[in-house]
Amino acid sequence: MPRFDKQGLLIAIALDSQSKDVLMVAYMDEEALARTRETGLAHFHSRSRGKLWLKGETSGHFLRVEEIRVDCDQDALTLFVKPEGPACHTGARSCFYRKLEGDALVRIEG
């Protein structure tokens, strides 16, 4: 079963189950994982706010979780999700919408 680190957290990577694109990455504590499994909606733990966070709670852009994979060390998860809207708070489909080129960040999608 998943193992949480000294801070009680593990890494959760949300992937679009259709395109396989990485949408976002955040942390989960035990509560966030339990709520995710109970509801089928991705919940995370906000390190800055120190509390549970239902992704889409304010935006309506929930991530419906279809499958959860676990890594060899059991301290990281990949969530295969169906996104209900853009995953990024900027309105981008994925939070990873820029690439590093030399010293510049170059936008790769609209």
The CA distances from residue 3 to 17, 36, 58, 89, in Å, are 24, 16, 29, 29
Contact between 32 and a copy of itself (CB under 8 A)? no
75 vs 84 by CB, closer to a copy of itself: 75
Among all chains, which residue has been given the structure tokens 């169906």? 82
Contact between 41 and a copy of itself (CB under 8 A)? no
By CB under 8 A, name the one of 41, 52, 54, 92 that touches a copy of itself: 92
Interface mask toward a copy of itself for 42-61; x: CB under 8 A: --------------------
The CA distances from residue 43 to 62, 67, 106, in Å, are 9, 14, 30
